[in-house]
Structure 1
Amino acid sequence: MEERKELFNPHQLTSARISRGMTMKELSEKSEISRQMISNYESGKTTPKAENLLRIINVLGFPRSFFVAEMPELHSGATFFRSQTAATKKARDMQKEKLKYTFEVYKKLATYVNFPATNLPVLIEKDIHDITEEDIIQKAFELRSIWGIDPVSPIKNLISTAEKNGIVIAEANMSDGALDAVSRWIIDRPFIILTDNNESSVRRRFNVAHEIGHILLHNSVESVHDYSSKELKNIIERQANSFASHFLLPSGAFEESLLSTSLEYYKDLKKYWKVSIQAMVFKTHSLGLISDDQSLYLNKKISWNKWRTKEPYDDLIPVEKPSLMDTVYKMIVENNVVYPNELNNSFRLPKDELEKIISKSIFDIKSTEKTTPILRLVKQ
């Protein structure tokens, strides 16, 4: 009788290794398997025997079921990275894999629950060189209007508002000081993945607004690799930053609130607008309310106060967290549609990845009796 061959998807090994930030050499050394053999496994020339696969599983921490799964690559559409020019290729590649895992979790949950419909203004389809400041201001205004945000008030909880309007947001199980976030359209829905950098609330809010800017402004971009690093930094990134500024700080309302340009007053404004002092100084200068010399003076004082990385009130303003995936997950298991263990195993992902994409609490939920309704999520 012919021996049954163990199923193995070589692309999944590459994916798991990259998501852990490892080179083939590093995986080879940690698993005590030759680099050539690792290369053969990833190219599909050789299928690892049980002993070597177990070594790989122990090093990477992925379940055995992951290595037989089929997870299609995200081919169409551009992926945008916050801090594009500073981030290393290794960090960007890690985030791409984690974006793919988030999409797979979303697909599984969406078989049971209807996520909120995507509610966005018409996307800009212009070449990046043709997008004007007026275009950006208009999109920021339209988005506030469509999302029911007062045109002259601060946004209370940006992440929650974005999730209620169909943007899937998750945290990634990685940290990298040069890479804050990644975003892209996948099929008919935008996704934003936030790097776990322990950033302040104001930085995270600006990061999310920046990524929403990419989603609305840069739909015509097929690949960021079609542009030079100068175009990425000075056009694409600048446009997303400009959108974030107009969206979080509507010019007229911000100007009305600016009764002084002292750093002490900016500290008070930060608590109101939930935007960094540095971003507000930049906005003030861009509106022509202070001169170049005044802007330079304020920025020198910010540096002298050592506020570049940590500002006043960073510890007081609560950091916003994604909650939509967790809400959907709990709807499924608490209504006994699927047992928690069954659902967790169906993702075929490591515990540490699922705890970031969904929530740490998913491994504590118990269920009793299973029924088979299809749930519909209307509002979060």
Structure 2
Amino acid sequence: MQERTVFNPKQLTSARISRGMTMKELAEKADLSRQMISNYESGKTVPKAESLLKILSVLRFPRSFFSAEIPELTTGATFFRSQSAATKKSRDMQKEKLKYLFNIYLQLSSYVNFPDVCLPDPLEKEIYEITEEDIINKAIELRKYWGLDLFSPIPNLIQLSEANGVVIAEANMSNSTLDAVSRWIVDRPFIMLTNNGESGVRRRFNVAHELGHILLHSSIESIHDYSAQDLKNVIEKQANLFASHLLLPSEAFSDSLLSTSMEYYLNLKKHWKVSIQAMIYKTYLLELINDDQRLYLNKKIAKNKWKKREPLDDEIPVEKPRLLEKVFVMIVENNVVPKSELRSAFRLPIDELAMIIGNVVSDTRDELVDKQPILRLIK
């Protein structure tokens, strides 16, 4: 007698959320009732083969995913580099993709030793007790841990973070209100970047911001314990301050700031690889300009329509995560596990794997497979 394949209802919920769909949307696209989807996700009923094929054709997840057991991230807080407009839907999508990243890491780390985590001890303070001096000291401490001086720009922040044990990947989603998510998982920090086509300087600031959460906010168990005002005006502001002090050490930046004209900020952008707006903010923090001067500069940015896209944004390279790709290639090229077997073990769609690990997971056949219709049962 053939053994019945196990169906894990949690995996259906996960796949649906990661694709940004409500139960109603999935039901409509799969030509099923919302109640049926609800019953499947609650575990009340198991989808029959025909219904499951309909769901697979919409979600485009491999069948093996729905019999897997990907653990929930139960401890620690997840931080989102987001604007106030970021929706619960987009945050939930990122959280599911962060789970996939951790699962990929776990499988790869069973074959290869990842770099040891080399970070200062996270700050153990309630958010209301954290001072700017604490933030400055932690940014300086991180630079020293990573062998950086306090006078030079950081050449490649993502590469440096990965070399020191931070796992970074891009998510298979774009959302203009949500740039990144980060979290300590067990004993390692993870950062997931949204694929927003952002500039190189914005991405560097996003990563620095997430490193701020990782080192400043270990006492937070859940961001839901705080009001929206606390999240924006305390927690996010602290992470922004950390990013500013990490990327622009105060003394070195002050020495380089020979003028506060917009033309001079453009020259400094080439050197520090930080946005003009972030440098104006830093100049203000150092009390090198007053409120009126800051307002004048920000009005000039608005007039030039530079709020979303500044000059040089197309010239400064966008840093990309490379660690997972290198590990994947190392395993395959050393014949530890065949490429197809390693890909299958992740139980994830090619589009998810290609973003998290890199295009190295794909091959020429994948395009053909993606374009082929999923087989249907004929009655």
Q: TM-score, normalised by structure 1?
A: 0.95
Where do residues 338-353 of structure 1 align in structure 2 (5 Å cutoff)? 338-353=337-352
Residue matched to 2:110: 111
Q: CA deviation at 1:5?
A: 3.0
Deviation digits for residues 151-187 of structure 1 (CA, Å, limit 9, x no counterpart): 1100000000000000000000000000000000000
Q: CA deviation at 1:365?
A: 9.8
Residue matched to 2:306: 307
Where do residues 55-94 of structure 1 align in structure 2 (5 Å cutoff)? 55-83=54-82, 85-94=84-93
Letter in 2 for 1:71: I
Where do residues 307-326 of structure 1 align in structure 2 (5 Å cutoff)? 307-326=306-325
Letter in 2 for 1:59: V
Where do residues 174-253 of structure 1 align in structure 2 (5 Å cutoff)? 174-253=173-252
Letter in 2 for 1:154: P
Q: Distance in 1 between matches of 2:246 and 2:330?
A: 32
Q: CA deviation at 1:347?
A: 0.2
Q: CA deviation at 1:362?
A: 1.8
Do the aligned residues in 1 keep the contact of 2:329 with 2:360 (CA within 8 Å)? no
Q: Distance in 1 between matches of 2:230 and 2:26?
A: 36
Q: Distance in 1 between matches of 2:190 and 2:291?
A: 38
Deviation digits for residues 28-69 of structure 1 (CA, Å, limit 9, x no counterpart): 000001110000000000000111111101100100000000
Query: What runs of 5+ residues in structure 1 fail to find an aligned partner?
Result: 367-380
Where do residues 7-26 of structure 1 align in structure 2 (5 Å cutoff)? 7-26=6-25
Letter in 2 for 1:238: K
- What is the root-mean-square deviation of aligned Cα atoms in Å? 1.2
Does the alignment pair 1:272 with 2:292? no
Deviation digits for residues 213-250 of structure 1 (CA, Å, limit 9, x no counterpart): 00000000000000001110010000000000000000
Residue matched to 1:330: 329
- Find the residue that maps to 2:340 and give its secondary structure: helix
Do the aligned residues in 2 keep the contact of 1:19 with 1:93 (CA within 8 Å)? yes
Does the alignment pair 1:263 with 2:230? no
- Find the residue that maps to 2:344 and give its secondary structure: helix
Q: Distance in 2 between matches of 1:170 and 1:365?
A: 23
Q: Distance in 1 between matches of 2:73 and 2:155?
A: 33
Query: What runs of 5+ residues in structure 2 fail to find an aligned partner?
Result: 366-379
Where do residues 17-166 of structure 1 align in structure 2 (5 Å cutoff)? 17-83=16-82, 85-166=84-165
Residue-pair matches, total: 365
Residue matched to 1:378: none
Deviation digits for residues 112-152 of structure 1 (CA, Å, limit 9, x no counterpart): 00000000001101000001101000000000000011211
Q: CA deviation at 1:286?
A: 1.1
Q: CA deviation at 1:84?
A: 5.4
Q: Distance in 1 between matches of 2:139 and 2:84?
A: 25
Q: TM-score, normalised by structure 2?
A: 0.95
- Find the residue that maps to 2:54 and give its secondary structure: helix
- Find the residue that maps to 1:180 and give its secondary structure: strand
Letter in 2 for 1:146: Y
Letter in 2 for 1:54: L
Q: Distance in 2 between matches of 1:332 and 1:173?
A: 23
